[in-house]
A and B are shown apart, each in its own frame.
Chain A
Amino acid sequence: MGWNRKILRVDLTKGTCKAEPLNMEWAQEYLGQRGLATKYIVEEVDPKVDPLSPGNKLIMATGPLTGTMASTGGRYSVITKSPLTGAIACSNSGGYFGAEMKFAGWDMIIFEGKSPKPVYLSIENDKAELKDASHLWGKTVWDTEEIIKKSHQDPQTRVSSIGRAGENGVLYACIVNDLHRAAGRSGVGTVMGSKNLKAVAIRGTQGVSGIKDFKGFLAATTAAKKVLADNAVTGQALPTYGTQVLMNVINEIGAMPTRNSRDVQFEGARKISGEAMHEPRASDGKPNLIGNQACFGCTIACGRTSKMDKSHFSVANSPKYWGATGGLEYESAWALGSHNGIDDLEALTFAQIICNEDGMDPISLGSTVSAAMELYETGVLTKEQIGVEAPFGSAEALVELCKMTAEGRGFGKELGLGSRRLCEKYGHPEFSMTVKSQEYPAYDPRGIQGMGLTYATSNRGACHLRSYTVASEVLGIPVKTDPLVTEGKAGLVKAFQDATAAFDSSGTCIFTTFAWSLADLQPQIDTACEGNWTMEKLADLGERVWNMERLFNNAAGFTAKDDDLPARLKTEPAKTGPAKGLVSGIDKMKPEYYQLRGWDQNGVPSKETLDRLGL
C-alpha cells in the first residue's frame, strides 16, 4: 500500500473528471511520482507531440511516502513534455499541496486536452469538478491563492497555480503551490497555461491509512529522521543557512558561474551568501532572514523566510512586499546574482519574489538575463531594444527585466523564450548557457567536472537535481572525489542518476541524500508499500526510470549530439581559482558513460539493456 490506488483523470476539452484505479502492476515497477507518472506519459503521449498542443498531457503525481510521517514526505511532481526543451519534464515541489492531494484520496491527477475557457480544478476529497476561472485569469499566483481560499471559505485549502508568466507563454513558467514552493523547471507552468488551467485547489480530510506495516514504518521513519538530525549538512548547515550555505563554498572552489559564465568566481559572493542573510543591514539594522520554513513533514527545514528592507529601491513604493516572504535560495541567488554580476542581496530577494509571485523559474530567467547582458555589453543589443541600460552588475536592470518578463511587456516577451532562442535570434548562440535549451544551474563544469556530464546527459535538459555529484566532488558524500578530474565521473554520475530517480519516485526530498543513501530509504518504502521492496528492486527502479526517460527523448528526436555543453565551457579555460586553466572534459567522460549505461555510441540503449530492465 502507501498508495491510495486511485487517480483522477481530467479531460479539459470535455470538462469531465473521472476516477480510475491506479495501475498497480506499473506501481510495482515504477513506484510513484516521477517514475510512475512518466510511465503514464510514455504510454499515453506521442513523444513528437507539440508540447503546447491539446495532445500533450500534464500529470501531478505524489509518491507512496507523500502524506506520511517520513521526513520530507510531502513532495509531488509535475510530469509532461517540456515546451522549453522538447524533452520529458519532471519538476518536483514541496510545500503542502502534495500531501493534501494524498489526504483527499488521490495518488495523481492526469490533465488532458484543452479547456475552451479558463478553469480551475476544485477537489474536496472524492468530489472533483472544474470551475470557471475567468475571474482568476491575469492574476498572480498569490492573488489566485487568496481569492480561491476566500471563495471556498476554507483557509485550509491548498492551492497550486500559474501566474501571469504561465498565461503569457514564458517558456520556463512554474506551477507554484503554497505561495513560495514551485514545480520550477522546464516550463511545466507553460503547459498548464496552454490548457487554460489556472489552478488546482485541494482540501483532503481522509488522511493516509494504507500503510502496510504501521509499526515497522514508524520505526523506520524515526531511525531515518535521526540520521538526518545527526548529519552535519541536514542537521546543521541546511537549517542554519538553507541552500545558500553553498554560495561561499562553491565560489571558493572556483565553480561559481559568473557574468554569463565568463568567470568562475564572483567577487561579490559573500555579500549575497547565506551568511550575509543573517547579518544586520546597514539601512535598518535588521537581518534579511527572519526564520526557517519547512515543507510538509520535513525535519530539515532549509526553506527561508525573509523580510525586505523597506527602503530598498525595488519595494520602497510597494508596501505589499514589506511583509514576510520566501527568502533566497542558492540557485536564485546565483542565477539572478552572480551570473549577472549583481551583489545586491535585497534586489535578488525581490527578483525571487517576482518569480514566486508570477511563477517563473529563477534559474532560466536569471541566466537568460545574463545572456541579454552579454548581448548588451558586446553591442549586439541596445538600450532602445531592451528598454533599459543592461550592463552586468545592474540591479535596476535585473528588477525591471524580471517584471517585464512576468507581465509579458516589451523585451520581456523575448526574455520569456529562454536564452537559447534569444541568443539564436540575435545571431550569437554561443552566449546561451544551456543544454537541450535549458539553462544550467549554479555549478561551473570547469571547476566541478562531474557536473558537466550531469548537465550534458540530464533527461530534462541541464539540471543539478538529476545527479548532484557536488555532494561527492565538493562535500565528500558518500566519498570524496577530486572535482578537477574526469576519471571515475562517468560511474559517479550514473550512480547518482539512478539513486536520484528512485528518491524522486518515493515522495521524499532529494536533499535527504546528503545524509541518506538508498539503504535509509528502502526500509521506509518496504514497510509502507506492498511488494518486496529490496535494495535491488529500488536500484533497478532508478535505472529503469532513467532509461525510460531516455527512450522518450530519443523518440522525440534527441540524439547523442544533444548531450553536449555550451562551447564556452569546452574552449574558454577558467580564469581564476583552483580550476584555473581548465575546461570541461565532457568529451572524455561521455563515451565511458554511454558504455556504463549499456548504450551504443549514439546514446541508444542496447537491446540487452532494455531486456535487463524490462523495458
Chain B
Amino acid sequence: MQKSLYIDANKCTDCLQCEMACSYENYGIFNIAKSRIKVFNFEHEGRKVPYTCTQCAEAWCMHACPVDAIRLDAVTGAKVVFEDTCVGCKVCTIACPFGTINYVADSGKVQKCDLCGGDPACATACPTGAITYIDADWTGLDKMRQWAAKTDTTATA
C-alpha cells in the first residue's frame, strides 16, 4: 500500500516538533531553519497550518530538472533529490507551484521532503495527530467518516 502525508490543520498547535524532527532526521541537529515542513501561523485568524511537498504524481520539479537529479522512489512515491547529481540551478524551485522545494545556500543544492524513506519523522513527532502518514488512496477516509456520522439520520429516527 502506498502512503502519503495527511495534514489536518485544525489539530495543529504550532509547537514545531515536526520541524525539529525533520531537521534532526536530515541534518542531525535541531534547527527549524533547515526543516522541509513548515508551520504557518496566521495569527489574526487563529489558524496554524503545516505545509510540505505533496509528492505530485507528475511532479513539476522532477520534469523541470535538467540533470535528472530528482527521481521517483518507487516504493514510497516520493520525489527525491539526489544531491550528488544536483547542480543547484534552482529551476525546480521556479517550476514547483507550491514553493515546497527550496535552495540551501550552505550545500549549494536544493532540498525537499523525501518522506524519510517511508517513515516520516514529522508524523512520528506530531503530538496532536495533525500530521499522519496514511493510505494514499484514502486520505479522505476520516472526513468521510465524520460526514457519514452527520448524515446518518436513521440512528436517531
Contact = CB atoms under 8 A, between A and B. Distances in A.
Interface of A: 67-69, 71, 96, 99, 103, 179, 204-209, 211, 214, 218, 225, 229, 290-299, 301, 303, 305-307, 323-324
A323 B44 contact: yes
Contacts of A303: 13
Given A296-B16, A297-B15, A103 B31 contact: yes
Contacts of B46: 290-291, 305-307, 323-324
A291 B27 CA distance: 32
28 contacts: A103-B33, A179-B43, A205-B31, A206-B31, A207-B27, A207-B33, A207-B34, A208-B30, A209-B28, A209-B30, A211-B30, A214-B24, A225-B127, A229-B127, A291-B10, A293-B14, A295-B15, A296-B16, A299-B17, A299-B127, A301-B15, A301-B127, A303-B13, A305-B46, A307-B46, A323-B43, A323-B44, A323-B45
Per CB-CB distance, the 10 closest pairs between chain A and chain B, nearest first, are: A207-B31, A324-B46, A294-B15, A294-B13, A323-B44, A205-B33, A299-B127, A301-B13, A209-B29, A305-B46
B13 A293 contact: yes
B32 A103 contact: yes
A305 B13 CA distance: 10
Nearest to B23: A207
Which residue, B27, B30, B47, has most C-beta atoms of chain A within 10 A?
A: B30
B20 interface: yes
B39 to A, nearest CB: 10
B111 to A, nearest CB: 14
B29 A69 contact: no
A301 B11 CA distance: 11
Interface of B: 10, 13-17, 20-21, 23-24, 27-34, 43-48, 125, 127-128
Contacts of B21: 69
Contacts, number: 85
A68 B30 contact: yes
Contacts of A298: 13, 15
Contacts of A204: 33
B17 A69 contact: yes
B16 A297 contact: yes
A178 B82 CA distance: 37
B30 A324 contact: no
A211 B46 CA distance: 34
A297 B20 contact: yes
Given A229-B127, A324-B43, A297 B17 contact: yes
A291 B31 CA distance: 26
Contacts of A218: 24
Contacts of A103: 31-33
Contacts of A305: 46
A69 B125 contact: yes
B30 A207 contact: yes
A320 to B, nearest CB: 9
Contact of B30 (A69, A290, A295, A299): A69
Given A293-B13, A299-B15, A301-B128, A214 B44 contact: no
B35 to A, nearest CB: 10
A137 B44 CA distance: 24
Given A207-B23, A209-B30, A323-B45, 5 more contacts: A207-B33, A207-B34, A298-B13, A323-B44, A324-B46
A32 to B, nearest CB: 16
B29 A294 contact: no
A67 B43 CA distance: 22
Contacts of B30: 67-69, 207-209, 211
Contacts of B32: 99, 103, 207
A324 B31 contact: no
A383 to B, nearest CB: 37
B44 to A, nearest CB: 4
Nearest to A96: B16
Contacts of A229: 127
Contacts of A301: 13, 15, 127-128
Given A207-B31, A208-B30, A69 B44 contact: no
A98 to B, nearest CB: 12
Contacts of B127: 71, 225, 229, 299, 301
Which residue, B34, B43, B44, has most C-beta atoms of chain A within 10 A?
A: B43
A3 to B, nearest CB: 14
A205 B34 CA distance: 8
A96 B16 CA distance: 10
A53 to B, nearest CB: 37
A107 B44 CA distance: 31
A134 B20 CA distance: 37
Contacts of B15: 294-299, 301
Contacts of B10: 291
Contacts of B44: 323-324
Contacts of A71: 127
A324 B31 CA distance: 28
Contacts of B13: 291-294, 298, 301, 303
